[in-house]
Amino acid sequence: MFSVYNSYSSLVSALYNYLIGVFSYYYLAVLSVVLFLFISYRFPYCYSPYLFSVFLLTVVFSCFISMFFRRVCSNFEEFFSGFVPVGTPLYICPLVCLAETISFLIRPFVLIFRPFINISLGCFGAVALSNFCFTNSIWLLILCLVFFYEVFVALVHWFIVTNILAFSIDH
């Protein structure tokens, strides 16, 4: 009746129950690696555009493709019926289906390009601001504020990637 949890297992269980919920712990591990990479790029000398693009293509894109194949292979009709939401009037069904198809085709590009562009620009912007620190010390305060802003941006992009992948299960 009473289970003993340490702080790590209760944290993982809370993340699993509130954020992931419908996936396995393996998926939680993959998303934790994505979060760690997004956060680690906020620190100096950790950013590599090549490694980041390869990571996004191999991990994030492959997660999307694997969920796509899982849905298509498990239930073909349910996958395509998800392109027309329940309750859609018949006269706009073709347009809604077209819009949902375009949305589904754009999702993998959003998963790759959006974090790459925004996190890369944040890294390059922090480098440009850090060069100003040599001229005036007020720039160091601004750089600290930019650091916390960029950590927030990294968390938001992780949340976006997680939600797009979660939304791809049903649509």
What Cα–Cα distance (Å) separates residue 72 from each residue in 52, 97, 147, 167? 29, 17, 42, 15
Please give the pLDDT value at position 1.
Answer: 37
Do the beta carbons of residue 153 and residue 118 sit within 8 Å?
yes
Those residues of the chain that have pLDDT short of 70 are 1-9, 12, 15-25, 168-171
154 domain-assigned: yes
Q: What gap in Å lies between CA 145 and CA 156, rounded to an integer?
A: 17
Do the beta carbons of residue 13 and residue 121 sit within 8 Å?
no
30 domain-assigned: yes
15 domain-assigned: no
- Quote the crossing angle between the two packed helices 138-170 and 93-132, to the nearest 10°: 160
Instruction: For residue 65, give its domain range.
Output: 24-41+48-170
34 domain-assigned: yes
In single-letter form, the type of residue at position 124 comes to F
Q: What gap in Å lies between CA 168 and CA 171, rounded to an integer?
A: 5
Do the beta carbons of residue 58 and residue 66 sit within 8 Å?
no
161 domain-assigned: yes
Could you write out the three-class secondary structure of the chain? CCCCCCHHHHHHHHHHHHHHCCCCHHHHHHHHHHHHHHHHCCCCCCCCHHHHHHHHHHHHHHHHHHHHHHHHHHCHHHHHHCCCCCCCCHHHHHHHHHHHHHHHHHHHHHHHHHHHHHHHHHHHHHHHHHHHCCCCCHHHHHHHHHHHHHHHHHHHHHHHHHHHHHHHHHC
Please give the pLDDT value at position 171.
Answer: 54
73 domain-assigned: yes
What's the pLDDT tens digit per position in 127-143?
A: 888 888 788 888 888 88
Structural domain count of the chain = 1
Please give the pLDDT value at position 50.
Answer: 93
65 domain-assigned: yes
117 domain-assigned: yes
